[in-house]
Amino acid sequence: MAASDHLPGSPALRPEDEKKDPNPVDSTSDTESATPLPANLAPGAFPPAPDGGARAWLAVAGAACIFFSCLGFMNSFGVFQAYYMANQLRDETSDNIAWIGSLMAFVQFAGGAIAGPLFDRYGSWVIRPGAVLYVFALMMTSLCTQYWQFMLAQGVLTGLAMSMLQVPAFAAVAQYFDKKRAAVIGIVVSGSSIGGIVFPIAFSKMLNDSPLGFGWSVRVMGFVVTPLLAFASFTLKARLPPRETNFFIGAAFKQPTFLMLIAAIFCGFIGMYTPLFFLPTYAVSRGIEPTLAAYLLAIVNGASTFGRIIPGVLADRFGKLNMLGVGAVSTGIVVLCMNSAVNTAGLVVYAIVFGFSSGTIISGATAALSICTDDPRNLGTYMGMGIAMASTASLIGPPVNGVLLDRYGGFLQASIFSGVICLAGGVLAFATKATTPKGLFGRV
C-alpha cells in the first residue's frame, strides 16, 4: 500500500509509535528484479520493493519450507485427534483432546505479537532459534504418554516455536513484494498445503502399516523438517533496515480498518478449524475406515493449495478485502453442509470443496492486514499483532465443538455454530471496506 493511499480516518502514528522518513520513497513500483539504491535516495529512506529477483524468490522458497513444516503439521492435527481418542488419551473427552490442538494453534499465532516486532527490530535472526526449538518440540512430543505432557510439548512448546518462524517469514517475504504481495503470500502458505498432504498420509501409514509406533513416527517427522528449516534459516533475510521505534505500535488499535479486520479474521478462524480438527472423526462415525479418514485431511490440504494461490492472484487484481470476504462466506456455507456428506464419495468431494474455500482465509488474512500500514518496515508488527488478536478464536472454536459433540453425540450442532460465525466473518470483511478510501464498493 503506497504512502499516498494512507487510510483517511486512521490516526497518524505518533513519533514514538512509528518514525516517518522525511523524504519517503514510494514503495509501490513494480519491477522485475532488485532495484539498486537511487543516487538521490534520501538518508534513511528505502528503495521500492523489487517484486522479484533471485534474493526475493529464495526468501519465498524459505518461507514455503517453514509453512510446510509448521502450518502443514498443524493442519494434520485431525489425525492426532482421532489417534489420541483411540489410544493414549482414550479416557479423555473430545473437547479435552481438542484443547491440545487449539492451544497449539493459538500459541503459534499469538506468539506472533512478539515475533513480528522482533523481526522488524532485529531481522531474521529470530528464525534460527525458532527452528531449533521446533525440532526439539517434536522430539519431546514423541516421548509423551500423558495428557499434561501432550499439552506442554505439542500444545505450548510446538506452538511457541511455530510463532517464531511463521510471522517473521510472512514479514520478510512481504518486504520484497508489493503489487504481487497477495499472490506471493498465497504461494508461501501453499507450502502448508503440501505439508498437510504429506504429514497425514505419512503419519497414518507409519502408525497403521509399520512397526514404528507413535514415538518414532513423530521423530521421523522431525527428521524430515530439519533440513527444510535449515534452508529457511539462511534464505530468509530482511530487505529493509530495522526500525528503532517502540516495540509495539499502539496507534494501530485506533484504526477502524485494523480492528474490523481482526474481528473478521477471528470469525473466519472459528469456522476454518472445525473440519481440520474433526473431519477424520466425523468420517469414522459414518463408517469410513480410519486410514482413509486420515487421508481426507490430505485431500483438504491438497485442494487448499489452489485455494491459496488462485485467490491470492485474484486479490492483487480485485482487492484483498474482497477475496477475504468471499473466502470466509464460502467457507461458512461449506461448513454448514458438513453433515450432508454421508459416504466415501461425498466426503472426498466435501474435502476438496472445503480445502479450496478455506485456503483463502490464512493467506487472505495476512495479505489484508498489509493494507493497514504504508511503511513496509512495520509489516511484521501489524501482521503479528493482528493475527495474535484473531488467534483467540482457536481457543474457542475446537473446544466448543468438542463440547457440542460430547453433548449431542453428532456433528450438526458443531457445523451450525462454526458455519454461522464464519459467515459473519465474511460479512465483516466486506464491511471493513467502508473504512477505506475506496469505500464499500471499491477494489480493496
Determine the length of the chain: 444
154-168, 262-276, 419-433: which has the minimum mean pLDDT?
Answer: 262-276
Nearest to 399 by CA among 161, 155, 157: 155
pLDDT tens across 188-199, in order? 888 888 888 888
With 70 as the cut, is the pLDDT of residue 13 above it? no
* Structure-block grid coordinates of residue 27: 514503495
For residue 37, the tally of other CB atoms under 10 A from its CB is 10
Helix H or strand E segment including 35:
none
| 389 residue type, one letter | M
pTM equals 0.72
Cβ–Cβ < 8 Å for 50, 179: no
* Cα 185 to chain centroid, rounded: 10
Return d(Cα 108, Cα 384) in angstroms, integer: 10
Q: How far apart are CA 117 and CA 346, in angstroms?
A: 44
Instruction: Say if residues 163 and 116 touch (Cβ distance below 8 Å).
Output: no
- The predicted structure's pLDDT at residue 45: 56
- Domain 53-238+250-435, CATH among 3.20.20.10, 2.40.50.140, 3.40.50.300, 1.20.1250.20: 1.20.1250.20
Is it the case that residue 18 has pLDDT exceeding 50?
no
The type of residue at 163 is S
With contact defined as beta carbons under 8 Å apart, do 346 and 211 qualify?
A: no
Would residue 73 be called left, alpha or beta, if left means φ above 0 and alpha means ψ between -120 and 50 degrees?
A: alpha
Q: CA 45, CA 381: separation in Å to the nearest integer?
A: 19
DSSP 209-255: SSS-HHHHHHHHHHHHHHHHHHHHHHH---SSPPP-S-SS-GGGGG-
- Structural domain spans, the chain: 53-238+250-435
Alpha carbon distance 395, 110 (integer Å): 11
Q: Give the model's pLDDT for residue 286.
A: 86
Q: How confident is the model at residue 442 (pLDDT cuts 50, 70, 90)?
A: low
pLDDT average, residue stretch 270-275: 82
Mean pLDDT over each residue of the chain, to the nearest integer: 80
- Angle of helix 344-369 relative to helix 290-318, nearest 10 degrees, comes to 40
- Highest-scoring range by mean pLDDT, 8-17, 143-152, 306-315: 143-152
Residue 9 has pLDDT above 70, yes or no: no
Residue 60 neighbours by CB under 8 Å, 6+ apart: 173, 176, 184, 187, 188
The pLDDT value recorded for residue 19 is: 40
Please tell me the distance from the alpha carbon of residue 21 to that of residue 36, in angstroms, as a whole number.
19
Least-confidence region, from 3-17, 154-168, 184-198, 277-291: 3-17
pLDDT tens, 79-118?
A: 888 788 888 888 888 778 888 888 888 888 888 888 888 8
